[in-house]
Amino acid sequence: MPVFHRERHRTQHIGWLRAAVLGANDGIVSTASLVVGVAASNATHNAVLVAGVAGLVAGAMSMAAGEYVSVSSQSDTEQADIERERTELEADAEYEKKELAGIYVERGLEPALAQQVAEQLMTKDALAAHARDELGISETISAQPVQAALTSAATFAVGAALPLLVVVIAPAAGLVLLVSITSLFFLALLGALAAYTGGARILIGTIRVTFWGALAMALTAGVGALFGTTV
């Protein structure tokens, strides 16, 4: 009786995890940096809030459009490769079977066993076998443009809402400092969560995200302070 393994591997999360982390990280960093930069220029509290809201909307749409176009291009390439493989299977299935067996031999199977595996897999679903083992395309990691776009837009909006919430409740006098500190805290949590979900080292993930967020806010604060005193 065959044994079926039902472990949940972390690669199952790779599609949505990449888009979610990228979206939330960009939402926090870009919106917090924008808010800090505008606030450092001595703008009014209302102007800072308007700039932050505009950044949230524009950023979410930009993330959605960018992810959709990027992942659609990947999906188009995958589909073109699959169609090419379908044509090759229809033209010379025997050669494709030998090619698949050769792949299994390179992975360590004996030639006879590799031939048997190739025959059985191609009997079940020849195109799926070649897509997975020759092209490296499977349902788990195949490109999904709509999913990536919606995930990026939603997580960007959630990430951007965090520094905006601080802008709403924080006093104007300490706005730059409070937005910076809370945003770095949010980034640290995001980096730790992303690392944990992806099975990576939590400390490294946290430091990496926090460092780049701090650098972005420092640079935009410098720009805002410079132009606020000269313009």
More confident residue, 190 or 140: 190
Percent over 70 (pLDDT), the chain: 87
More confident residue, 16 or 212: 212
pLDDT number for residue 184: 92
Q: Are 141 and 14 in contact (CB under 8 A)?
A: yes
Helix (H, G, I), strand (E, B) or coil at 55: helix
Is residue 229 predicted with pLDDT exceeding 60? no
pLDDT number for residue 90: 83
49 falls in which pLDDT band (50, 70, 90)? very high
Write out the two tokens for 80: 């073109």
For 4-46, how does the pLDDT look when each residue is reduced to its tens digit (9 = 90+)? 445 554 444 455 566 677 788 889 999 999 999 999 888 888 9
Is residue 64 predicted with pLDDT exceeding 80? yes
Kindly list the distances between the CA atom of residue 119 and the CA atoms of 85, 111, 229, in Å, as whole numbers in the listed order: 17, 12, 74
Is residue 56 predicted with pLDDT exceeding 70? yes
DSSP letters along 137-176, please?
A: --TTTS--HHHHHHHHHHHHHHHHHHHHHHHHHS-GGGHH
More confident residue, 85 or 60: 60
* CA neighbor of 156 nearest in space, from 7, 15, 21: 21
Rounded Cα gap, residues 48 and 54, in angstroms: 10
Compute the C-alpha angle 200/213/190, nearest 5°: 40
pLDDT number for residue 5: 47
Write out the two tokens for 92: 């010379």
**Amino acid in position 160:** A
Rounded Cα gap, residues 137 and 130, in angstroms: 9
Average pLDDT, the chain: 82
Helix (H, G, I), strand (E, B) or coil at 134: coil
Rounded Cα gap, residues 87 and 127, in angstroms: 10
Contacts of 203 (CB under 8 A, 6+ apart): none
Q: What is the mean pLDDT of residues 194-219?
A: 84
Q: Are 94 and 119 in contact (CB under 8 A)?
A: no
* Integer-rounded Cα radius of gyration of the chain: 25
Write out the two tokens for 137: 């395309």
For 114-148, how does the pLDDT look when each residue is reduced to its tens digit (9 = 90+)? 888 888 888 888 888 887 877 777 655 556 788 87
pLDDT number for residue 94: 85
pLDDT number for residue 161: 94
DSSP 135: S
More confident residue, 230 or 221: 221
For 97-113, how does the pLDDT look when each residue is reduced to its tens digit (9 = 90+)? 888 888 888 888 888 88
Cβ neighbour number for residue 98 with a 10 Å cutoff = 13
